[in-house]
Structure 1
Amino acid sequence: MQHDDHIIEDHDRGLAHDLAVMARVMERRRALKWFAGAGTMALVAGCGGETDSSATTTSATPTPTPTATATPTPTPTATSGAGCVLDPTETAGPYPADGTNSSAGSTSNVLTSSGVVRSDIRPSFLTTTTVATGTRVTLTLTVVNVNASCAPLAGYAVYLWHCDRNGNYSLYASGAAESYLRGVQVTDANGQVTFTTIFPACYDGRWPHMHFEVFSSLSAAIGGRYAVLTSQLAMPAALCTTVFADTATYPGSASRFARVSLSSDNIFGDNSAAQVAQQTPTFTGSAAAGYQASAIIGIAR
């Protein structure tokens, strides 16, 4: 066959020819090997995209998605301050009219009423304009932070309320028609609020006192039931004796006051001497001209 003749002829051309043929064969094999390798590399590149020359293989590890964890707001604890102590929490009593109890079967909340933010709390402001009579008192309260060296707290709201000269509370029982001796003020840059009111009467079973609540803001106060402190102020014993001597203005208070003591009072009796001292306002003035009083209210912020 013809192709066999070509093979025979190639084997009969001598050593030089055979060496040349062998060289061409070897060269051809190297070329085929190179093309085979190049094709494999092209295939790899087409499947894997760009790769690093280090040729290290890594497997992807999913990154966990963080979940939100609620962090409880720490409750402030009081530390000693220079010239102030933490006021103790006291009961609001049965007549707060702050939305925490009911009167005549309905919830009484004067804090949500228009006009409750006022300095002079002697007049009623809801259904009547009756003015509570009695010995005039201008009371300035300074709200301070016992955890910051008694620094004043501006922008806090203070709700003050107390009984009238007969021992009755407005919006309740025999005083239900009235809304006097209740009001809210917001502390200024000095942490102070000032109320014009009267000296409270003494009724059976309690030392003469005033109630107050402190709120972190006015909006919290008029929203109701967000007080950061509910407590009371004790009236000074000597001043009670002086004021109640006017039996025409304060009928029955002198005899009732004679039957109570600060140490046996179920509110003030278990407080420390430092707490009672801070809860007792300092008074200047006279019954005839009116009194100016002041007290510090210490809260932990």
Structure 2
Amino acid sequence: MTADHHEGQRVSRRRIIAGIGSIGLGAILTACSGEAGTPSAVATTEGTASITPQTAPATGLDALFARAGTCTLTEATTQGPYYFDADKVRSDIREDRQGVRLAVAIKVQDGEACTPIPDAVVEIWHCDAAGLYSGAEAMSRGEGGGGMGGGDLEPQDDKRYLRGAQVTDKEGIVRFTTIWPGWYRGRTVHIHAMVHVGGRRTLTTQVIFPEDLNTEVFKQQPYAAQGERDTFNDDDGIAGESTMTVVAEDGDGYQAVAIFGVSP
């Protein structure tokens, strides 16, 4: 049984608060465990803040979500060896990482009723253009040991780039700004995601990207410095049709969307 099915295992929930940078996941999980859509108060080092999921309209994303439309449970996958609670509630997870800008919008819905699930926490994490994961840079290079199992990682360094979490709005949507993921040997290009509903890990999955766009992006630096890939979508042991994102050009980068059907 993979870690995504460890019911009751709590992670810190996070959210961007008006006037406050970010707070830990523990406070967010507690605040979001109340009635869906109801703002909650939480004490922070700077006082008490009202926690309300982002309610930015999905205008402009509707067509992409329609293309990604599905009313089934999303396939669970291994969480991989590099997951840990990064304690970063934020929408822009790039920090100092260079690469092609990628906006990611994820809709969480009931996999049977197809209704949106507000106040769910969505975490994403992925490697940078050089194939490195924050908190595990040495392991990403094949140094310092470390297995390839599915358990939570004890961070090996203090880096936290390309990791973050958001709380779904009333439409079940979260948005992130990141970079197009890089690659490493044995895997196709992917982003990891974990969904928490009611304080429990409800889904752990991964999303992948169209190969024609991977090819276009990897012609550019800093990706090109990685050389030739050895694994693509068709021969990846984890990727499948259900994990494919819908992607469109978006100014100087791309917009990707995915729908996660979960069993709440």
Normalised to the residue count of structure 1, the TM-score between the two structures is: 0.56
Deviation at 1:133, TM superposition (A): 1.1
Normalised to the residue count of structure 2, the TM-score between the two structures is: 0.64
AA at the equivalent of 2:108: V
Query: What's 1:137 paired with?
Result: 102
Query: What's 1:161 paired with?
Result: 125
In structure 2, distance between residues paired with 1:199 and 1:173: 18
Does 1:266 find its partner at 2:230?
no
Where does structure 1 lack aligned partners over 5 or more consecutive residues? 1-72, 74-81, 98-108, 124-130, 221-225
The 5 Å alignment of 1:34-113 reads 83-97=70-84, 109-110=85-86, 113=87
Where does structure 2 lack aligned partners over 5 or more consecutive residues? 1-6, 8-68, 141-156
In structure 2, distance between residues paired with 1:236 and 1:122: 22
- Is the Cα contact below 8 Å between 2:189 and 2:232 reproduced in 1? no
- Is the Cα contact below 8 Å between 1:158 and 1:212 reproduced in 2? yes
AA at the equivalent of 1:242: E
- Is the Cα contact below 8 Å between 1:166 and 1:251 reproduced in 2? no
- Is the Cα contact below 8 Å between 1:279 and 1:296 reproduced in 2? no
AA at the equivalent of 2:109: V
In structure 1, distance between residues paired with 2:165 and 2:197: 13
Query: What's 2:201 paired with?
Result: 227
Pair 89,83 (structure 1): closer, same or farther in 2 beyond 3 Å: closer
In structure 2, distance between residues paired with 1:187 and 1:194: 9
Query: What's 1:41 paired with?
Result: none
Corresponding residue to 1:242 among 206, 213, 216: 216
Aligned-residue CA RMSD (Å):
2.0
AA at the equivalent of 1:263: D
Does 1:251 find its partner at 2:224?
yes
- Is the Cα contact below 8 Å between 1:245 and 1:254 reproduced in 2? no
Deviation at 1:182, TM superposition (A): 0.5
Query: What's 2:253 paired with?
Result: 290
- Is the Cα contact below 8 Å between 1:158 and 1:185 reproduced in 2? yes
In structure 2, distance between residues paired with 1:94 and 1:186: 24
Deviation at 1:173, TM superposition (A): 3.0
In structure 1, distance between residues paired with 2:227 and 2:244: 19
In structure 1, distance between residues paired with 2:203 and 2:210: 22
Query: What's 2:55 paired with?
Result: none
Number of aligned residues: 180
- Percent identity between the two aligned chains: 37
- Structure with max Cα Rg: 1
Does 1:204 find its partner at 2:185?
yes
Corresponding residue to 1:171 among 130, 135, 139: 135
Does 1:119 find its partner at 2:106?
no
Q: CA offsets, 1:32-76, max 9 Å, x none?
A: xxxxxxxxxxxxxxxxxxxxxxxxxxxxxxxxxxxxxxxxx9xxx
In structure 2, distance between residues paired with 1:280 and 1:245: 21
> Greater relative contact order (Cα 8 A, min sep 6): structure 1 or 2?
2
In structure 1, distance between residues paired with 2:258 and 2:89: 20
More helix, by proportion: 1
Pair 177,237 (structure 1): closer, same or farther in 2 beyond 3 Å: same
- Is the Cα contact below 8 Å between 1:136 and 1:199 reproduced in 2? yes
Deviation at 1:254, TM superposition (A): 5.2
Query: What's 2:164 paired with?
Result: 183
Pair 281,253 (structure 1): closer, same or farther in 2 beyond 3 Å: farther
- Is the Cα contact below 8 Å between 1:210 and 1:234 reproduced in 2? yes
